[in-house]
């Protein structure tokens, strides 16, 4: 049996300054990885990296900005020389606004971070994985990647896009030794929803669906699933969208 270890691996994790990304960084470091802790929030990245210690490198970047992503990947490569694991985890919520109500600026920001950001980091890291002949990418999608009623219009569309990108990368690079999978978290105890003031119509419409998420996950439960997918224990799993929701989506 292959262990869930990341010994001698270098992992780049976005959105690692808090929540699920922070738990991934801590969990991956415990599994033996050196971790590039990326976040747009410099203080958050610094805090996670300080808690991990020598195996972590904090890096401030906006994944929605191409120049920032280029600098991020250069920082990772000049520090460690390789990137074995990429977790595209950074993301933002919409306000639960329904399609007729969402302002264009909010639509564009959510798509820019959640989908284009995931693409930009993947696009910048793939050449290094191709050179190495090895790589594992784990995207943090959502139950909203496969359902129409788990969030607002922009978040739902962006996460459906992440699911499509996951399968596209998996299909395109299966012969290159590169795997790409996604976790689909159900409701998880993080700060992502606390900042958004919810659109009342959308929130009311989604209330019965969200109430199905009776059990709220801890970020570490997402990190454990991501660790499995990133490790050689998942060596033949490629292009999978893995629900991590305690059975919420099975209803
Ligand atoms: N918490 C949930 O219930 C839940 C459910 C399904 C999916 N998710 C997904 O999990 C991922 C992590 O979210 P979380 O719940 O840990 O929330 P979180 O807000 O705690 O963490 C998200 C992190 O991403 C960072 N970030 C935001 N925009 C960024 C950008 N442009 N560039 C770099 N970093 C950026 C934030 O500063 C933050 O530290 C997201 O993709 C989210 O959509 C969360």
pLDDT tens-digit readout, 7-35: 999 999 999 999 999 999 999 999 999 99
| 23 Cα nearest atom in ligand 1 | 16
3-state secondary structure of 239: coil
Per-residue confidence (pLDDT) for residue 1, from 0 to 100: 61
Distance separating alpha carbons of residues 156 and 111, to the nearest angstrom = 10
Distance separating alpha carbons of residues 110 and 129, to the nearest angstrom = 27
pLDDT single digits (tens) 50-82 = 999 999 999 999 999 999 999 999 999 999 999
Contact status, residue 226 vs residue 163, Cβ threshold 8 Å: no
For ligand 1, mutation pick of 14, 15, 25, 113 (most atoms within 8 Å of CB): 15
Distance separating alpha carbons of residues 210 and 197, to the nearest angstrom = 16
Helical (H) or strand (E) element with 118: helix 117-132
pLDDT band at 198 (very low <50, low <70, confident <90, very high): confident
Name all residues whose Cβ lies below 6 A of ligand 1. 14-15, 17-21, 39-41, 44, 61-64, 89-92, 113, 117, 140, 142, 185, 187-188, 190-192
3-state secondary structure of 242: strand
Considering only CA atoms, which of 116, 208, 209 is closest in space to residue 154? 116
pLDDT band at 202 (very low <50, low <70, confident <90, very high): confident
Cβ atoms within 10 Å, residue 97? 24
Contacts of 117 (CB under 8 A, 6+ apart): 14, 62, 63, 64, 69, 88, 90, 91
CATH code of the domain made up of 10-250: 3.40.50.720
Distance separating alpha carbons of residues 179 and 130, to the nearest angstrom = 11
Per-residue confidence (pLDDT) for residue 236, from 0 to 100: 98
């Amino acid at each position: 049996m292959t262990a869930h270890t990341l010994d001698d691996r270098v992992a780049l994790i976005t959105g690692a300054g808090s929540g699920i990304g922070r738990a991934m960084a801590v969990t991956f470091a415990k599994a033996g990885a050196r971790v590039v802790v990326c976040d747009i929030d410099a203080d958050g990245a610094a805090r996670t990296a300080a808690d991990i210690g020598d195996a972590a490198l904090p890096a401030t970047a906006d994944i929605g900005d191409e120049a920032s992503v280029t600098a991020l990947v250069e920082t990772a490569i000049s520090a460690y020389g390789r990137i074995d694991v990429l977790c595209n985890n950074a993301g933002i919520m919409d306000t639960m606004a329904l399609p007729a109500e969402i302002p264009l600026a909010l639509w564009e920001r959510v798509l820019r971070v959640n989908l284009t950001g995931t693409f930009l980091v993947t696009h910048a890291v793939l050449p290094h994985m191709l050179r190495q002949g090895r790589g594992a990418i784990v995207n943090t999608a959502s139950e909203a990647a496969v359902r129409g009623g788990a969030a607002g219009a922009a978040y739902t569309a962006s996460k459906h896009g992440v699911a499509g990108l996951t399968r596209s990368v998996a299909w395109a690079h299966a012969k290159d030794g590169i795997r790409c999978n996604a976790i689909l978290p159900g409701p998880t105890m993080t700060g992502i929803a606390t900042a958004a003031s919810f659109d009342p119509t959308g929130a009311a419409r989604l209330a019965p669906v969200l109430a199905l998420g009776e059990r709220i996950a801890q970020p570490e439960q997402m990190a454990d699933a991501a660790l499995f997918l990133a490790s050689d224990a998942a060596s033949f799993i490629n292009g999978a969208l893995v629900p991590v929701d305690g059975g919420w989506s099975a209803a």
